Amino acid sequence: MTETTTRSHAGTATTSGEASRDFRENSKRGRPVDLRRLDLAAVRAMLRTRHPEMQIEAVRVLQRARCGDGVASTADRLSLGLRYPGGANPLPERMILKTLLLHPALRFGLPAILGLSRAARAAESLPLVGRAARSLLFVLVGLYQRLYPHAPDAMYLTEVRFYGELRSELQIEAPRCFGSLFEQRTRQFGVLMEDLGQRSARFPDATEELPIAQLKKLLSNLAALHAHFWQSPRLDRELAWVPTRLEGGMFPVFDGIGRELIQYQVQSNDFKRDLLAPLGRNVDQLWQDLWRSQRQLDQGPRTLLHGDTHITNTYLLPDGSGGLLDWQLMVRGHWANDFSYLVTTALRPESRRRHERELLAYYLQALRAQGVARPPRLEQAWHDHRLAVIWGLVIGWLITPPVNYGVDVTHANISRLVSACLDLASFDALDAPAIAQDAATIAQNAATIAQNAATAPRAPEDRGS
């Protein structure tokens, strides 16, 4: 899932700290902001979450990319021109608004998704026609998604909260945000970001080969994010609202209907079925492998992950540095999920094979340089990398409709990920014996777990909105 706008992108970050709280207060007062109107009041409301005294005189839409058009994947992107009083320019005159213009009544909420899951199970139990009825149900869901493309609310809310609550403390290259809102009652959201086109950013994808030097810059940026939250007690305190791969966020969606959506995608797209053939595994087997790998990785060191680091969610700047876009799938979890997804989608198989271990060692050293006293040992890191590749294949691209990015980009990503699973013997790694850890690492992990357990709130309140 990615973050593009007419190839004039959404940009780097300072944050909109009170976004979710501000929208809840608006809702209590009965004055929700209608972002679908795209008027001066809506844009001003978003700006004032970050800049309370900001005045603007006019807003106009310069360009737009609609969700599902092959440019914008999970939300609409609008390039806005802003005019400020007196000719002053306290903020940029051009910004990108990420939102969803589709009416909320046409979007699947979590209750509808869970209801669909129950209906599918009931359909499968019908005598004689059960399997066919279940398949037909998801064919209809796929057709509906083509007509009205959108993502579950959990993804939109996660991104709003990233920009509102976390971005300002991070010394990383990621989009600058001038305001963000999530309106709980109407399920509307908006994030105002800089137009990265103004910094001559370039947006790579898996149809090209990323130079190793630029990939290392992206890995350094990723290590800075991971090091900041590495084994932090905050992950069980104020960041307990951030989902994991096994709980919260998108997990109920994947758990409820994920396998069926993938089966529909594989059945309805011949190229996906053909690309998977060398693995010798069907969708049911891949689905079991996916969750086995994530349960094993869940036992390792934890940090805050971007969560969706395929190469199309990155941007490159003229000075050689690069950043991360699209924070909708941010989670708490194992570092390898981010590292593996980036490396395997950024490089052609032959280049990845030559540089993979070098890049892993580079990332581990970057963690140490960023203050992680005991980064994982190379042997353990390599084992975890082998496991983490499975997620990128199954959830990253088998579940994604080709309309989101186009067939060429979808084909290239699946091809690279299948090659990685074969080269790394990822499915064999599921049954490989655990790599022995040194005593100091075991003691450190035990101490961290004990500390987090002692300081975690006994009954965490719901902070999801």
Q: Is residue 462 part of a domain?
A: no
Residue 359 lies in a domain: yes
- Are 82 and 217 part of one and the same domain? no
User: Is the same domain home to 78 and 187?
Assistant: yes
Could you give the number of structural domains in the chain? 3
Residues 140 and 241 in one domain: no
Rounded distance between C-alpha atoms, residue 22 and residue 34, angstroms: 14
In a domain, 24, yes or no: yes
Query: How far is residue 95's CA from residue 113's CA, in Å, rounded to a whole number?
Result: 33
Specify whether 300 is located in the same domain as 423: yes
Domain assignment present for residue 327? The answer is: yes
Does one domain contain both 141 and 207? Answer: no
| DSSP assignments along 398-448, one per residue | ISS-GGGT-HHHHHHHHHHHHHHHHHTTHHHHTTSPPPPPPHHHHHHHHHH
Contact 392, 310 (CB under 8 A): yes
- Residue 13 falls within a domain, yes or no? no
Cα angle at 155 between 162 and 381, to 5 degrees? 70
Q: Helices 335-346 and 212-228, interaxial angle, to 10°? A: 170
Domain membership of residue 143 as a residue range: 110-147
Instruction: Report the C-alpha gap between 75 and 98 in whole angstroms.
Output: 7
Residues 337 and 443 in one domain: yes
| pTM greater than the 0.85 cutoff | no
- How do residues 242-268 score in pLDDT, each as one tens digit? 999 999 999 999 998 899 899 999 999
Say yes or no: 143 and 156 in one domain: no
Task: Give the angle subtended at the CA of 179 by the CAs of 177 and 180, to the nearest 5°.
Answer: 100
Tokens of 403: 């309309």
Q: Are strands 314-316 and 58-65 parallel, antiparallel or unpaired?
A: unpaired
**From first to last of its 465 residues, what are the pLDDT tens digits of the chain?**
433 333 333 333 223 333 334 333 333 333 445 555 677 888 888 898 888 888 889 999 998 887 766 665 688 889 999 999 987 788 999 999 999 888 888 887 777 777 877 787 777 777 776 677 777 777 777 777 777 787 888 999 999 999 989 999 999 999 999 999 888 888 889 999 999 999 999 999 999 999 999 999 999 999 999 999 999 999 999 999 999 999 999 999 999 889 989 999 999 999 999 999 999 999 999 999 999 999 999 999 999 999 999 999 999 999 999 999 999 999 999 999 999 999 999 999 999 999 999 999 999 999 999 999 999 999 999 999 999 999 999 999 999 999 888 999 999 999 999 999 999 999 999 998 766 544 444 455 445 444 544 544 443 333 333
